[in-house]
């Protein structure tokens, strides 16, 4: 029974991380209709920056604050000077650009930090264990779950309850109308992209101590995040949440029950969704 609970928690922690990654991806897609292949590369940058900041200051909280900021700036620059430029050439070129960017970032990371795994070590209370109802569990994994809940809540609040969220959603539906209202739509898009990048940077910081920091980490999470989006439905925050939860549990119990096929389970889920409901659980029918 306690083992069962531990695996549920493992699943939840991984779901939290997946949600942190995929929420930014789905935000950018939902708002700007751009599928950002470089999203996971931003996430990896977050992890590496965090590693370096920890080396330098030893303060995890500082890297949690700084990395999203750095990625925010990078995201804004990418949108302003690269993405906007190819927008006129159409969708295909946007995809190619972000794909090329991911490629360059991965190679750059190998160059700067080396092509091997780095260990991110924490200190303080995050490294501890907590006992509850007879279960002993690492604090850090609970902390991840907490972060995911906080980010998810904040995002849905900003998105559905504030003026900014209304403007952003309106900008998607009717570009010119919102432009005519005196709102700078290109600026809004730049900020949305930057926020997406910041979110992935944050996820990278969080992932550092949980997973290994190595140049393949981007490709690894990208596929899982894509599966989350396919299963949950493109551009849907709620879908991303639900799909993250399902895949987190599948992952946790897959490793427990059918260790060799845990990956296959996730693909099986994706294939079933593709056949039964191609637009995803929360997706709108085309």
Partner 1 sequence: MRRRSGNPGSVFPGIALVGGLLAAPLFLPLYHVNLLTEVIVFALYAVSYNLLLGYAGLLSFGHAMFFGTGAYVTAVALAHLPGLSVGSAILLSVAAATLAGVVTGALLLRHKGSYFALLTLAFNALFYAVATKWHSVTGGDDGLSVNRPNLDFLGVHLDLSDITTFYYFALITVGALIGYCWHFTHTAMGRTVLLVRENEERMKFLGYDTNISRLLLFTFTGALAGCAGSYYALFFEFTSISAISIEMTTTVLLMTFIGGTGSFLGPVLGALVYTLLHDKLSDITDRWPLIMGLIFIVMVLYVPGGLSGLIVSIRERLAGTAGKNAAQPLEGRKP
Using CB under 8 A as the criterion, which residues of the chain lie in contact with partner 1 when the complex forms? 29, 33-35, 37, 82, 85-86, 89, 91-93, 95-97, 99-101, 103-104, 107-108, 111, 219, 222-223, 226-227, 229-230, 234, 260, 263, 267, 270-271, 274-275, 278
Q: Which is nearer to partner 1, 96 or 150 (CB)?
A: 96
Place of tokens 């370096």: 52
Minimum CB–partner distance for residue 228 and partner 1 (Å): 11
- Of the candidates 104, 94, 98, the one whose C-alpha atom is nearest the C-alpha of residue 45 is 104
d(CA 80, CA 190): 6
Q: Which is nearer to partner 1, 85 or 175 (CB)?
A: 85
Minimum CB–partner distance for residue 205 and partner 1 (Å): 24
Minimum CB–partner distance for residue 248 and partner 1 (Å): 17
Q: Which is nearer to partner 1, 44 or 120 (CB)?
A: 44
Q: Which is nearer to partner 1, 163 or 260 (CB)?
A: 260
Residue 180: is it exposed, middle or buried by C-beta count within 10 angstroms (0-12/13-18/19+)?
Answer: exposed
Distance of CA 204 to the CA centre of its chain: 8
Please enumerate in sequence order all residues whose Cβ is within 8 A of that of 197, keeping only pairs 6 or more positions apart, or say none.
Answer: 24, 39, 42, 71, 72, 74, 75, 76, 78
Minimum CB–partner distance for residue 225 and partner 1 (Å): 10
């Amino acid at each position: 029974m306690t083992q069962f609970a531990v695996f549920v928690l493992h699943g939840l922690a991984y779901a939290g991380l997946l949600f942190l990654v995929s929420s930014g991806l789905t935000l950018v897609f939902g708002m700007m209709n751009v599928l950002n292949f470089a999203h996971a590369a931003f996430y990896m940058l977050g992890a590496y920056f965090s590693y370096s900041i920890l080396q330098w200051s030893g303060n995890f909280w500082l890297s949690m604050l700084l990395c999203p900021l750095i990625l925010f700036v990078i995201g804004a620059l990418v949108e302003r000077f690269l993405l906007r430029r190819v927008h006129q050439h159409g969708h295909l070129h946007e995809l190619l650009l972000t794909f090329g960017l991911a490629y360059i970032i991965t190679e750059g990371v190998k160059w700067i930090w080396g092509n091997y795994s780095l260990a991110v070590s924490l200190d303080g209370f995050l490294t501890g264990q907590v006992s509850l109802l007879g279960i002993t569990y690492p604090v850090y994994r609970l902390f991840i779950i907490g972060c995911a809940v906080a980010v998810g809540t904040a995002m849905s609040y900003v998105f559905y309850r504030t003026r900014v969220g209304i403007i952003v959603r309106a900008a998607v539906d009717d570009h010119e109308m919102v432009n005519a209202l005196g709102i700078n739509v290109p600026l809004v898009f730049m900020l949305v992209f930057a926020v997406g990048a910041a979110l992935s940077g944050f996820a990278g910081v969080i992932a550092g101590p949980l997973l290994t920091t190595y140049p393949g980490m981007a490709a690894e999470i990208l596929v899982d995040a894509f599966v989350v989006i396919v299963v949950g439905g493109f551009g849907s925050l709620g879908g991303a949440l639900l799909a993250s939860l399902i895949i987190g549990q599948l992952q946790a119990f897959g490793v427990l029950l059918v260790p060799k096929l845990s990956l296959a389970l996730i693909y099986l889920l994706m294939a079933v969704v593709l056949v039964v409901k191609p637009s995803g659980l929360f997706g709108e029918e085309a």
